Amino acid sequence: MKKILFVLFAFISTTAFSQTKLIEKVPQVEGKIVIPYEKYELDNGLTLIIHEDHSDPVVHVDVTYHVGSAREELNKSGFAHFFEHMMFQGSENVADEEHFKLVTESGGRLNGTTNRDRTNYFETVPSNQLDRMLWLEADRMGFLLPAVTQEKFEVQRATVKNEKGQNYNNRPYGLFREVNAASLYPYGHPYSWLTIGKLEDLDRVDVTDLKKFFLRWYGPNNATLTVGGDVDPEEVIKKVEKYFGSIPSGPEVDPMALKPVTIDEDRYVSYVDSNIRFPLLLFTYPTVPRFHEDEAALDCLSEILGAGKSSYFYKKFVLTQKAIQASTFHPTSELAGEFTMFTLPFPGQKLADFENEVREILKDFEENGVTDADIEKFKANYESNTINGLASVSGKVSQLASYETFRNDPNYIQKDLDRYLAVTKEDVIRVFNKYIKGKPAVIQSVLPNDQVEPAAPDNYEPKTEGENPFPTTDYSGLSYNRPDDGKYDRSKKPVPGQSPLVKVPTIWNEKWSNGMKIIGTESNEIPTVAIQLTLNGGHQLDANDPTKSGLASLTASMMNEGTTSLSSEEFQEELRKIGSSVSFYAGQNSTVLSINTLVKNLDRTLELAEDALMNPRFDSADFARNQKQTIEGIKSNETDPSSIASFVYDKLIYGDNHIFSVPSSGLAETVENITLDDVKSFYKKYYSPKVGELVVVGDVSKEDILPKLSFLKSWTGPDVKMPSLTFEADTDKTKIYLVDKKDAAQSQIRIGYLTDMTYDPTGETYKAYLMNYNLGGAFNSRINLKLREEKGWTYGARSYFETGENPGPFTASAGVKADATDSSVYEFMTVITDYRENGVTPAEVDFMKKSIGQQDALNYETPRQKAGFLRRIVHYDLDEDYVKEQMKILNKITKKELDQIAKDRLKTDQMVIVVVGDEASNIEGLRKLGYEIVKLNAKGEPVEGESMESGK
The answer to whether residue 45 scores a pLDDT higher than 90 is: yes
Annotation: CATH topology of 4-244: Cytochrome Bc1 Complex; Chain A, domain 1 (3.30.830)
Decide whether 4-244 matches 267-383+410-447 in CATH topology.
yes
* pLDDT for the residue numbered 794: 92
Burial of 925 (0-12, 13-18, 19+ CB in 10 A): middle
**CA separation for the pair 65, 374 (Å, rounded):** 38
By the 8 A CB rule, do 470 and 135 touch?
Answer: no
So what's the pLDDT on residue 170?
79
In this structure, are residues 689 and 516 in contact, taking their beta carbons and an 8 Å threshold? yes
| Superfamily covering domain 267-383+410-447 | Metalloenzyme, LuxS/M16 peptidase-like (3.30.830.10)
Could you list the beta-strand ranges (E) of 127-240: 223-229
Q: 508-713: which CATH topology? A: Cytochrome Bc1 Complex; Chain A, domain 1 (3.30.830)
Chain center to CA of 610: 31
What would the pLDDT profile of 557-570 be if each residue is shown by its tens digit? 999 999 999 999 99
**SS3 label, residue 749:** strand
Edge to edge, what strands does the sheet with 280-286 contain? 267-272, 442-447, 280-286, 338-345, 323-329
Angle between helices 372-388 and 413-421 (to 10 degrees): 170
Evaluate whether 916 touches 645 at the Cβ level (below 8 Å): yes
pLDDT at 946: 56
Q: pLDDT grade, residue 16 (50/70/90)?
A: very low
Mean pLDDT of 115-130: 96
Give the pLDDT confidence score for residue 945 in this predicted structure.
59
**pLDDT above 60 for 1:** no
d(CA 646, CA 637): 10
CATH number at 735-936: 3.30.830.10
Confidence check: pLDDT of 3 > 70:
no
Residue by residue, DSSP assigns 500-535 as PPP-PPP-EEEE-TTS-EEEEEE--SSSEEEEEEEE
- Which of the two residues, 866 and 15, has the higher pLDDT score? 866
**Which amino acid would we find at residue 336?**
A
pLDDT class of 948 with cuts at 50, 70, 90 = low
Q: CB of 41 within 8 A of CB of 223? A: no
Domain ranges, ordered by start, for the chain: 4-244, 267-383+410-447, 508-713, 735-936
Average pLDDT score over residue span 42-52? 97
Q: Alpha-carbon distance 599 to 522, whole Å?
A: 12
Higher pLDDT, 134 or 257: 134
Residue (of 251, 224, 226, 328) closest to 285 by Cα position: 328
Nearest to 140 by CA among 70, 64, 218, 224: 218
Q: In this predicted model, which residue has the larger pLDDT, 533 or 943? A: 533
The pLDDT, as a whole number, for residue 165 is 77
- Given a contact cutoff of 8 angstroms between Cβ atoms, the answer to whether 51 and 37 are in contact is yes
Q: Please give the backbone phi and psi of residue 476, each rounded to the nearest 5 degrees, phi first.
A: -80, 155
pTM of the model: 0.92
**pLDDT of 202 above 70:** yes
Tens digit of each residue's pLDDT (9 = 90 or more) over 341-361: 999 999 999 999 999 999 999
30 has pLDDT over 90: no
State which of 1-5, 739-743, 824-828 shows the largest mean pLDDT: 824-828
The per-residue pLDDT for range 714-723, each reduced to its tens digit, is: 999 999 999 9
- Provide the pLDDT for residue 732: 87
Query: What separation in angstroms does the CA of 846 have from each of 253, 323, 824, 890, 893?
Result: 44, 54, 28, 11, 11
Rg (CA), the chain: 28
